[in-house]
Amino acid sequence: MSESQSIQWFPGHMTKTKRQIEKTLKLVDAVAEIVDARVPVSSRNPILHKLIQGKPRVILLNKADMADPQQTARWIAYYKEKGITAIAVDCRSGKGMNQFIPTVRSVLKDKIASWERKGMVGRTIRVMVVGIPNVGKSSMINRLSKGSKAVVEDRPGVTRNNRWFTITKDFELLDTPGVLWPKFEDKTVGEHLAFTGAVKDAVVDVEQLAARLIETLRELYPNALTSRYKLDGLDLSAMQGYEILEAIGRSRGMLISGGEINTERAAIAVLDEFRGAKLGRITLEQVRA
Ligand code: GDP
């Protein structure tokens, strides 16, 4: 995810995507919304809910392989309470994806029954796949369509045209028309998407970003930090994120001439290792128990 590129969000682009989605919604029976299970709030488009009102939908908590399984289960229960069906998937390995078609069918069961009453047995189910850049839409479509067409790019914002994929003889997927934007005016959202690599590091200060990630991890998963970076004996709660970053650099022997700590190298290591799930399975946005 290191090659993620930043996206220029113009009001014009957003209006265009919104219109494209509104138009295309008429062609589908349901919407599959993909979110990043590690940051399920920040990885959602802020107006999608309103945009797809009335459409049956399934939320895919993707990258579940890197998220805290207990938290993922809580998110599924949270959505269920709100009457929304969510499933945990890992589109890279395919884990959980066998639930997808049966789940869509169950969400659409009344509709399917009514089609059948009208003599439309085996009518094709059409589902639009939506999600902000880098959540795994291409990976998901690729996996289901067995790699025949969708191109997976390790960078957000690659615009694609309206493309349909035949999954089975009576099940079709439509790739998001246009690029759905995150709630980028919210600072926490921007930060969380930068932590996961969904937005480019070059637009942010890596040391500051790593220090913020460290502070977030200290709140939620202090043991992950202590054990990965051998910080036993330090009272992390009494330290600033930047001081912990320095301690990590020291512990890893990341020094520059004169014995100074190379905090930039340490910052890159922390970000890369978090993104590679080397600190364990972590969910940064949690459902309060
Ligand atoms: P899109 O921009 O929404 O189409 O996202 P992509 O399908 O291009 O995926 C973005 C990055 O996330 C790629 O590097 C994928 O390999 C990776 N990715 C997608 N799904 C998963 C997943 O379930 N688990 C993990 N670990 N990585 C994933």
Mean pLDDT of 70-74: 98
CA distance 155 to 168: 28
pLDDT at 25: 92
Residue % of the chain over a pLDDT of 90 = 74
pLDDT score, position 251 = 96
Could you give the CA distance from residue 200 to residue 1 in angstroms, rounded to a whole number? 9
pLDDT (tens digit, 9 = 90+) per residue, 49-64?
999 988 999 999 999 9
* φ, ψ dihedrals at 190, nearest 5°: -60, -40
| CB 65, CB 139: distance < 8 Å | no
3-state class (DSSP) for residue 177: coil
- Mean pLDDT along residues 246-274: 96
The SS3 of residue 90 is: strand
pLDDT for residue 178: 80
Pairing, β 57-62 against β 30-36: parallel
Q: Which residue has the higher pLDDT, 258 or 63?
A: 63
Residue 150 confidence (pLDDT) above 60? no
Residues 111-126, mean pLDDT to the nearest whole number: 96
What 3-state class would DSSP assign to 151?
coil
Name the residue with higher pLDDT: 165 or 285.
285
Average pLDDT value over all residues in the chain: 90
Q: Is 243 in the pocket of ligand 1 (CB under 6 A)?
A: no
Count of other CB atoms within 10 angstroms of residue 258:
5
pLDDT tens-place string over residues 185-194 = 899 999 999 9
pLDDT at 148: 58
Average pLDDT over residues 81-104: 97
Report pLDDT for 190.
Answer: 92
The answer, yes or no, to whether any atom of ligand 1 lies below 6 A from the CB of 160, is no
Query: What confidence tens digit (pLDDT) does each residue in 3-26 have?
Result: 344 556 777 888 989 998 998 899
- The alpha carbon of 134 and the centre of ligand 1 are apart by a number of angstroms equal to 6
| Mean pLDDT of the 195-222 span | 91
Substitution site in 152, 179, 282 for ligand 1 pocket (most atoms within 8 Å of beta carbon): 152
* Top mutation candidate among 34, 68, 139 for ligand 1, by most atoms within 8 Å of CB: 139
**Paired tokens of 71:** 């938290």
Residues 6+ apart with CB under 8 A from 127: 28, 29, 30, 31, 32, 104, 171, 172, 173, 174
Dihedral, CA of residue 97, residue 199, residue 78 and residue 215, to nearest 10: 120
In this prediction, residue 7 carries a pLDDT of 57
